[in-house]
């Protein structure tokens, strides 16, 4: 069967490579190759740089309001094409349609809308120094590279493009080689919205293409989403030309459930924090600390709801609420972690194995898995699994649980469930994490800054704070009096 071949999107059009070198993209829900993608070769990459330079000259000369209007048109187009785009995300990632059709495109569009609204408000300041004065200008950085992970391909492309473009920069985006289509659709939509060619280019490939970007001296900034180890490599490469970097990396986040928590809500949070997008979310609360006195009722409710409410199957079936992992390789890694949990003495309460649903037997499914009797030293409680594996730990003291929650090299997210509002804020103020939730989990509106403490990242995405990561400050001193000089 002949398959479509995707390419890089450069200078406003699809651009073929010179040697025809391709890689396969597999639908994780079925295990079948669904299309191929041409790897960007040197000529494609050079052309992406040339078109980005030309695009920057045009885009940065436009007024912020003009840029904003184009971005808002793109927002409308994203929403108009929601279902088509969501279907692409489902086929590329294996996540359920039930999620992608209401979250992935929508949260991407929201971020572009938010930054489009801010574009015209970016301003410097002024200060008088005697008769002289100085003022500051917030100027774009130039050509920014965006490098994405595979769990939210279109959303990640939107979250990176939105602040970059609103501030007058241009972007060369490299999607994950496992999920290359969403960013291409975004590029098409930007063109349809009237964006000049070269403002948003997409180059296809793996680590090598990523490295080419992060090492290029003419790229001013890299915004990266992925694993900590890859982020460290990206920073090392970016250091060669002292690029600005934003890093959205992994996590091993705590979800702390106190004895006065609303138990149903806490169970909902634990399930969302471990099984949404089949556990492939960076902010997942995979260390679920439950107060000793409510541990058993918590586990009873949790297991009952997993048994009754989780529907594993064809990700495109609207009934399915739990999809497939990204690849056979990742599925095996998750199963290895589960074996590790068993070997190190955790008690498996449910799941713990791969699944082959009748409708899609070739998909890369792992059953929703819960371990109890965990302790902090176990591998499953220390390392990011990025799959549907929940570790339940117990505690009986507030100070103790704060210390244990913070005893991780990661610091991406955290959640606290309690009805005691003073305790909620006291605990959160001492938690070492960039994204925190009280009696909630996972919500991330465009206006809320997201990013990690410690090994989980540098810089922020979304929120006002991100404008500073995509602009540089020029201070201009103006002499009004005759210049004094000792020479």
Q: Return the closest-CA partner of residue 43 out of 15, 4, 3.
A: 15
Active site residue 80: no
The dihedral region occupied by 424, where left means phi > 0, alpha psi between -120 and 50, and beta the remainder, is alpha
**Residue facing ligand NAD at closest CB distance:** 210
Rounded distance between C-alpha atoms, residue 87 and residue 134, angstroms: 52
Interhelix angle for 82-93 vs 181-192, to 10°? Answer: 160
Considering only 226, 254, 363, 459, the residue that binds ligand NAD (CB under 6 A) is 226
Segment lying near ligand NAD (by CB under 6 A), choices 50-58, 220-228, 352-360, 471-479:
220-228
Residue 206 in contact with ligand NAD, rule: CB under 6 A: yes
Task: With beta carbons less than 8 A apart as the criterion, state whether 141 and 220 touch.
Answer: yes
Span 281-300, contacts to ligand NAD by CB under 6 A = 282
Decide: residue 242, CB within 10 A, 0-12 exposed, 13-18 middle, 19+ buried: exposed
Considering only 234, 380, 401, 431, the residue that binds ligand NAD (CB under 6 A) is 234
Binding string to ligand NAD for residues 393 to 412, with x set by CB under 6 A, is what? -------------------x
Task: With beta carbons less than 8 A apart as the criterion, state whether 477 and 134 touch.
Answer: yes
Question: Pick the catalytic residue: 144, 158, 282, 381?
Answer: 282
Residue 145 in contact with ligand NAD, rule: CB under 6 A: no
206 CB contacts (<8 Å, ≥6 apart)?
A: 23, 39, 177
Residue 180 in contact with ligand NAD, rule: CB under 6 A: no
The nearer residue to ligand NAD, 211 or 439, going by C-beta atoms, is: 211
DSSP string, 380-441: HHHS---SSEEEEEEE--HHHHHHHHH-SSEESEEEEE-S-HHHHHHHHHH---SEEEES--
Task: With beta carbons less than 8 A apart as the criterion, state whether 134 and 483 touch.
Answer: no
102 CB contacts (<8 Å, ≥6 apart)?
A: none
Span 78-117, contacts to ligand NAD by CB under 6 A = none
Residue 210 in contact with ligand NAD, rule: CB under 6 A: yes
Considering only 27, 225, 286, 408, the residue that binds ligand NAD (CB under 6 A) is 225
The nearer residue to ligand NAD, 72 or 207, going by C-beta atoms, is: 207
Binding string to ligand NAD for residues 440 to 469, with x set by CB under 6 A, is what? ------------x----x------------
Residue 177 in contact with ligand NAD, rule: CB under 6 A: yes
Active site residue 160: yes
| Sheet of strand 287-291: strand arrangement | 347-350, 369-372, 389-395, 287-291, 254-257, 413-417, 435-438
Number of Cβ within a 10 Å radius of residue 20: 11
Question: Pick the catalytic residue: 6, 177, 188, 248?
Answer: 248
CA atoms within 13 Å, Cβ hemisphere of 321: 13
Instruction: Give the number of residues in contact with ligand NAD, rule: CB under 6 A.
Output: 29
Rounded distance between C-alpha atoms, residue 45 and residue 35, angstroms: 22
Question: Pick the catalytic residue: 38, 178, 188, 461?
Answer: 461
Residue 386 in contact with ligand NAD, rule: CB under 6 A: yes
Shortest gap between Cβ of 138 and ligand NAD (angstroms)? 24
Q: DSSP label at 442?
A: S
Active site residue 432: no
Active site residue 282: yes
Shortest gap between Cβ of 160 and ligand NAD (angstroms)? 10
Q: Which residue numbers are catalytic?
A: 160, 248, 282, 461
Interface residues toward ligand NAD, by CB under 6 A? 147-151, 174, 176-177, 206-207, 210-211, 214, 225-227, 230, 233-234, 248-251, 282, 384, 386, 412, 452, 457
């Amino acid at each position: 069967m002949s398959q479509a071949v995707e390419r890089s999107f450069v200078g406003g059009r699809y651009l073929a490579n010179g040697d025809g070198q391709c890689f396969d993209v597999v639908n994780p829900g079925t295990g079948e190759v669904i299309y191929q993608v041409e790897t960007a070769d040197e000529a494609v990459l050079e052309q992406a740089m040339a078109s980005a330079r030309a695009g920057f000259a045009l885009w940065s000369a436009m007024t912020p309001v003009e840029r904003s209007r184009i971005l808002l048109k793109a927002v409308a187009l994203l929403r108009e094409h929601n279902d088509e785009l969501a279907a692409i995300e489902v086929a590329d990632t294996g996540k359920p349609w039930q999620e992608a059709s209401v979250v992935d495109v929508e949260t991407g569009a929201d971020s572009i809308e938010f930054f489009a609204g801010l574009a015209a408000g970016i301003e410097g300041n002024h200060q008088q120094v005697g008769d002289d004065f100085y003022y500051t200008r917030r100027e774009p950085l130039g050509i920014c590279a965006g490098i994405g992970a595979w769990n939210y391909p279109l959303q990640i492309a939107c979250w990176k493009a939105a602040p970059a473009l609103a501030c007058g920069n241009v972007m060369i985006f490299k999607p994950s080689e496992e999920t290359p289509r969403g960013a291409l659709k975004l590029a098409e939509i930007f063109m349809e919205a009237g964006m000049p060619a070269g403002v948003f280019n997409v180059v296809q490939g793996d680590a090598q293409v990523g490295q080419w970007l992060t090492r290029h001296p003419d790229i001013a900034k890299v915004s990266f989403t992925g694993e900590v180890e890859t982020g460290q490599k990206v920073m090392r490469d970016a250091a060669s030309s002292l690029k600005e970097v934003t890093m959205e990396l992994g996590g091993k986040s705590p979800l702390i459930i106190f004895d006065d928590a609303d138990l149903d809500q806490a169970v909902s949070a634990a399930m969302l924090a471990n099984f949404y997008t089949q556990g492939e979310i960076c902010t997942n609360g995979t260390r679920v600390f439950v107060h000793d006195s409510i541990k058993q009722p918590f586990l009873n409710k949790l297991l009952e709801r997993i048994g009754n409410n989780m529907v594993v199957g064809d990700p495109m079936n609207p009934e399915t609420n739990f999809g497939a992992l990204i690849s056979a390789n990742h599925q095996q890694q998750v199963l290895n972690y589960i074996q590790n949990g068993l070997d190190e003495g955790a008690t498996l309460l449910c799941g713990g194995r791969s699944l082959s649903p009748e409708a899609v037997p070739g998909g890369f499914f792992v059953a929703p898995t819960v371990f109890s009797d965990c302790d902090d030293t176990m591998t499953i409680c220390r390392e990011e699994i990025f799959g549907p594996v929940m570790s339940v730990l117990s505690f009986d003291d507030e100070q103790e649980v704060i210390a244990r929650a913070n005893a991780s090299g990661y610091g991406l997210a955290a959640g606290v469930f309690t009805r005691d509002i003073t305790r909620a804020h006291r605990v959160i103020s001492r938690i070492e994490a960039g994204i925190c939730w009280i009696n909630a989990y996972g919500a991330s509106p465009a206006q809320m800054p997201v990013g990690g403490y410690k090994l989980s990242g540098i810089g922020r995405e979304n929120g006002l704070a991100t404008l500073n990561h995509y602009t540089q400050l020029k201070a201009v001193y103006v002499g009004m009096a005759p210049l004094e000089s000792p020479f």
